[in-house]
Chain A
Amino acid sequence: MKRLQHRNKLMPKPVRVLDKWFEVENNFFLELEVNSCYSVPGQFIQVGLAGVGEAPISIASHGDTLLLNINIVGRVTRMLSKVKPNEYVLVRGPLGKGYPLQSLKGNNLVLIGGGCGVAPLAAVLDYVCKNRQDFESVKCFFGFKSPDQVIFKKQIKHWAELVSINISVDKDLKLKQELKQLQDIERFINFEGFVTQALEQSFLTNNNIVAFICGPPIMMKHAVKVLKSKGFKDEQIFLSMERLMYCGIGYCCHCMINDLYTCIDGPVFRLDVLRSRPESGFE
């Protein structure tokens, strides 16, 4: 597998698509022929198509290939969903700062993800499972709309062998018995309600532990509230922020959160950094 290399920072590289599949409607996976071991979990790439444009997408793997999980929300993502294996996409990256896993060795981890926000945490889990001895207990709380909306099924089965996985669904918990496509992960879908409620009801010590959160802005806000009520300090909470991005290298200015650039200072920020920035929504 080749490693991405660039001269001109705005110049992408054509990269071959190995596979593409849909697990649920309007959300698909792209597997690219690039080694994602060189990226830090939480980083993103700019992926695009000639004549269509680019979109920033979180890296959702840590291994021999690079996995992307993409929600179809706009023009670029719709066109990307039509790509077939062996075709080429244009890629720039990896970009941004990820979760500082190296410096968090020896900690307990709690990962909180909502919907497509599970993607950067998937890269974290790939890393953690490879380096399981570096971390104490690892608890995951993932939230989806309903059992038929659960994604990363294959990976969840694999991660569950090494870490604790709790999946909550906003509604229709009973539906899980009827669904064949769940591939033996229905036992992890154990809560009906928002993922933040599941988090609230769980027992978490606030000692020697860090939390990673990624999801829709409203979910992240609630998750922070719950963690604070459990005695977490701002320094123990890391969030993956979403903004509009073009350059990805810190000078088109679209992704600014006050003085911070999401693309180079983030997308992963420690909560105490966001506290003094009203535009983050965490003031």
Chain B
Amino acid sequence: MLWCLQDSDLKNLLLAFAKHYNVYAPIDVSIPVADGKHVKRTIFSKVKSGLDLRNLNLETLPEIPVKHLFYPPVEVLFSIKKSKNVELVEEMPSIEKTLIFGLRKCDLNAIKRQDLLFSTHNDVWYLHRRELTTLIGIHCFEPLNSYCFCNSQELEDFGDLMLYELSNATKHWFFKAAEQLCKENESFANSNFNDLKINLKSKLYIVEICSEKGFELLSNFKKFFVKKHVSKMLGLNVSDLELLEVVKRLTPKTRVLKHSKAINALTPSDWASVSEQCLSCGICTCTCPTCYCFEIFDKEVKTLKGFETLRLRTWSSCQLQEFTRIANDFVFRSEKWERFKHRVMHQNIYFKQRYGKQLCTGCARCIVNCPVHIDWVGFINKKNLQGLGE
């Protein structure tokens, strides 16, 4: 038996969550652009009422990841009171319980990799927000777009609850899993793998509990969940738990970043050629779920009590020239290919050398959101790097 959530209960559940948490879910929103026109964008948007959920979209990868919820673009590190002596006051923002629904495995792993980084540096602001956040993921059976490359990025299971859609559209994955399972384990033999005979009347989500936080959440909202004998529903003679274990391993057939260890072997002219169109705008780092570079500076603000100085931390981007500019106007990475190379290398090589995992999780937002569509993964894959630097 597995915990399941009926698709018809999903929106009610999210609204029930919203009474206790700040709930964020992938929602289509209309964003005004020039000339009174609007464009549709899927973003993790706050769920306040049933109206917001009319445009819930679980079919596409939201354009912007959720890193800003833990690591905001502007963070107040502390304030400085200047009277007789200088007094520093640590600022801790008021943080509410947050629940993020509909995260894909790339985004969940991005959070895991940022956890690794920020906990290494004991970043109190980030860790405090993460502690109060619950993550609900949704499994991808198919790639969400043609650019994703998560299959080569060593993703792990992560999150508090994980949902697996079971419907007429996805049932063949369960039969495939059962077939695989029977090959591995003789006691399940004689199952019927003909998925055509089974017609599922409604969509449901199998719920996997991945952490204590997830268990607690499910217990607190138990009335929305039901326990079902999933393999029986599908006419299969296998164990539910083992079936789910195999389904989990059926990762979407995305493309891969080939020879990632050999990126080092690319020459400056290769980098110049892939970044030829680059505008150094920084959208790749801004919409990346893992990029974390920042700047620190002081700002005077006017408050009720007079002027106050704040020390702020803001997002930065290694794609900007200013990023390595030192005194006397000397820029270390003055060429755009050097900056482009640094981003790709940091994401795929440097971080791994230090923390054991590459930073990049293969969501491909840096490619999809790029105004000139630089597909660096496609470029590297076309290069013959077989056997180099590995």
Q: Would you call B300 and A10 a contact (CB within 8 A)?
A: no
For A62-103 the 0/1 string (1 means CB < 8 A from B) is 000000000101100100000000001010000000000000
Q: Would you call B342 and A256 a contact (CB within 8 A)?
A: yes
Residue of B at shortest CB range from A55?
B327
Q: Would you call A50 and B298 a contact (CB within 8 A)?
A: yes
Partner of A253, one of B80, B293, B300, B338: B293
A3 and B238 alpha carbons, distance in the complex (Å): 66
Query: Does A258 count as interface, using CB distance less than 8 angstroms?
Result: yes
Q: Would you call A14 and B88 a contact (CB within 8 A)?
A: yes
Query: Does A267 count as interface, using CB distance less than 8 angstroms?
Result: no
Interface-lining segment among B162-170, B178-186, B346-354: B346-354
Q: With contacts A11-B90, A259-B350 known, is A244 near B323, CB below 8 A?
A: yes
Q: With contacts A10-B313, A11-B77 known, is A244 near B324, CB below 8 A?
A: yes
Interface-lining segment among B9-17, B39-47, B117-125, B146-154: B117-125
Chain A residue numbers with a CB within 8 Å of B294 are 246-247, 252-253
Query: Does A222 count as interface, using CB distance less than 8 angstroms?
Result: no
Number of interchain pairs (Cβ within 8 Å): 99
Q: Would you call A259 and B354 a contact (CB within 8 A)?
A: yes
For B294-327 the 0/1 string (1 means CB < 8 A from A) is 1111111000000001010100101000011111
Q: Would you call B88 and A254 a contact (CB within 8 A)?
A: no
Partner of A51, one of B88, B298, B316, B323: B298
Closest chain B CB from A175 CB (angstroms):
25
Q: With contacts A10-B313, A11-B90, A259-B349 known, is A74 near B327, CB below 8 A?
A: yes
Query: Does A170 count as interface, using CB distance less than 8 angstroms?
Result: no
Closest chain B CB from A79 CB (angstroms):
11
Count of chain B residues with a beta carbon within 8 Å of a chain A beta carbon: 45
Query: Does B78 count as interface, using CB distance less than 8 angstroms?
Result: yes
Q: Would you call B346 and A53 a contact (CB within 8 A)?
A: no
Residue of A at shortest CB range from B349?
A259
A279 and B82 alpha carbons, distance in the complex (Å): 41
22 residue pairs from A and B, CB less than 8 Å apart? A8-B77, A8-B90, A12-B88, A14-B85, A50-B309, A51-B299, A53-B296, A73-B328, A74-B327, A242-B326, A243-B324, A243-B332, A244-B325, A244-B326, A246-B294, A252-B294, A253-B318, A253-B346, A254-B323, A254-B324, A259-B349, A259-B353
Which residues of B are at the interface with A, using a C-beta cutoff of 8 A?
77-78, 80, 82, 85-88, 90, 117, 120-124, 292-300, 309, 311, 313, 316, 318, 323-328, 332-333, 338, 342, 345-346, 349-350, 353-354
**A-B pairs with the 10 shortest C-beta distances?**
A73-B327, A259-B350, A50-B80, A253-B293, A51-B309, A14-B86, A246-B296, A244-B326, A88-B86, A50-B309
Which residues of A are at the interface with B, using a C-beta cutoff of 8 A?
8-12, 14, 48, 50-54, 71, 73-74, 77, 88, 90, 242-244, 246-247, 249-254, 256, 258-259, 279
